[in-house]
Amino acid sequence: MQQTTRWAGAAALALLATSLHAQSLDDLKRDSATPGDVLTYGMGYNNQRYSPLKQINTNNAAKLRPVWAYSLNNPQGQESQPIVHNGVMYVTTHNSTVALDPATGKQIWKQEIELPQDVFKMACCGILNRGAAIYDGKLFRSTLDAHVMAMDAKTGKQLWKSKAADYQNGQAMTSAPLIANGVVLTGIAGGEYGTRGFIDGWDPATGKQLWRFYTTAAPDQKGGDTWPGDTHLKGGAPTWLTGAYDPDLDLVYWGTGNGGPWNPNARKGDNLYIASVVAIRPKTGELVWHYQFSPNDPYDYDATEVGMLVDMKIGGKDRKVLAQANRNGFFYVLDRASGELLAANPYVKVNWAERIDLKTGRPVPTETDKKARAGEDVEIFPSVLGGKNWTPMSWNPSTGLAYANTLNISWPYQLAKPEYKKGEWYLGVNFRGVNMPKNEPHGYLSAIDPMTGKSKWQMAWPGQPSMAGTLSTGGGLVFTGAATGEFIAVDANNGKKLYEFQTSSGIIGLPVTFEHKGKQYVSIVSGAGGVWALLGDERMSQVPAGGSVWTFAVD
């Protein structure tokens, strides 16, 4: 009898522990409205990276102080977004997952991942991971060797692990999964390696693959006639960032990347669905609509950073839109139910297209673009890094502005003969890096009107541009970080810097804010690296490596 009682008590405690860590689909839907939690990549299915919290605001931001710092014991670039639930913070690196106390930084558990040694020479661009997803008491993440795994959120114990692709072909997984309508969705990296992109749907309980949507259309599929021969098999269109989700429409929006090779003459045609956004059903992977930003893209203008879901008035009407600052230099606003193009305007210097035709949705090429496609050596704005790179922007509904770290960089462009070799870059371009304009900033923190592409204000980055994400809050603040390691807070209305703190390395991660026991905190992962480091900027030699999590609050 005594033993039975002990078992019953243990079972009750186990049930309590499970319920404390369980999350429902409704919890995920409410993420943007529950400031105590950060349950999704993007701080809400809408990917707006906005929090209504205002305990930290323009009046007291100068009183911010670091509360704790936690070493990730990892020298690689750190691009992870923390997840916070029920008094626990989860952070990923390329080879570990950690659970922390969000108020103190004390480690609760840590699980390391064993990776094959040859994976590191085949993963573009940077050895990293961008975060986890949480649902029903489980934590989900991807791995550099192209697997998806689930862990018990309470203990870190692995529950299942499924293979998505062969990393030796150049495919990797770096992004956070997305949970939509009970399905785990993941993308794939490797567009520079002559691979074929896809989006997968997985069963969260078992890891069984439910469906796969290929992002280069086969001859027997809609859009297949936009690829000559079998070029779609090495056509790129990687899906290496996390999508957004509209539960009311039951549509997942996922961005796709460059065509393979970069040389567009090797795959003449629009090449659906490269450099596009696709709207799909999460239960089945069915394509509902698509919009292609850069048909037959020659310039590596990924559309993988899908953008934000925003409700706004356009022409006096309430519209549900998807807003994206595309790497091609244009800021797009699309109707997210139909894919109708509503606006497209340059937000940085652009010389490859005159404009985007609002009737056809297609770019109108310039003479510079025509020369590039003919094989001449030309200078192209924006560069291979885009007008904005991979890091997400944020939205403030009070100002009606998008806050993004933008780039003012060009690149020398000339076609070359493409040669495919397994596990090596498949470009077909004489790649010579990027050009930094003289006597001009190389990047800005920009407050952009999505309908015009014009900035209300810009804060120039001295020296290296920022590759960090941004966070907007109800306190009228925008948080971000610098390549040289400064964590900063600025006034969302005018760009005035209100706070700055030097972290231990460069920042290329994504800030989040949350409330814990009545106190507002802001956290960001620090650790230089990523695509900027690959360009060999000599100034970065002065920035120490080393990953860490920093958390701030007002005294």
Distances (CA, A) of 537 to 97, 439, 465, 487: 30, 17, 11, 21
Q: What is the spatial distance between Cα 144 and Cα 151, in angstroms, rounded to a whole number? A: 17
Is cis: bond before 261, omega within 30 of 0?
A: yes
Residue 197 structure tokens: 């992109």
> Which residues, listed in sequence order, are joined to residue 98 by a DSSP beta bridge?
91, 110
Q: What is the DSSP letter of 452?
A: T
Name the stretches of the chain with pLDDT < 50. Answer: 1-20
Burial class (CB in 10 A: 0-12, 13-18, 19+), 117: exposed
Distances (CA, A) of 292 to 217, 237, 279: 13, 11, 12
Q: What is the spatial distance between Cα 62 and Cα 498, in angstroms, rounded to a whole number? A: 6
| pLDDT for residue 534 | 66
Q: Enumerate the active-site residues.
A: 300
Where would I find the H helices in 175-248?
none
Q: Among candidates 300, 403, 302, 389, which has minimal Cα distance to 77?
A: 389
Q: What is the DSSP letter of 390?
A: S
| pLDDT for residue 424 | 86
- For residues 212 and 198, is the Cβ–Cβ distance under 8 A? yes
| pLDDT for residue 20 | 47
Residue 49 structure tokens: 């990276």
Tens of pLDDT, residues 444-479? 999 999 999 999 999 999 888 999 999 999 999 999
Tens of pLDDT, residues 417-430? 999 988 888 999 99
**Which CB contacts under 8 angstroms, 24+ apart, belong to 494-501?**
494/457, 495/445, 495/447, 495/457, 495/458, 495/459, 497/459, 498/58, 498/61, 498/62, 499/61, 499/62, 499/64, 501/64, 501/66, 501/550, 501/552
Q: Among candidates 510, 502, 470, 497, which has minimal Cα distance to 484?
A: 502
> Which residues, listed in sequence order, are joined to residue 548 by a DSSP beta bridge?
71, 526
DSSP string, 323-345: EEE-TTSEEEEEETTT--EEEEE
| pLDDT for residue 122 | 75
Q: What is the DSSP letter of 12?
A: H
| pLDDT for residue 13 | 37
Chain centroid to Cα 301, Å, comes to 15
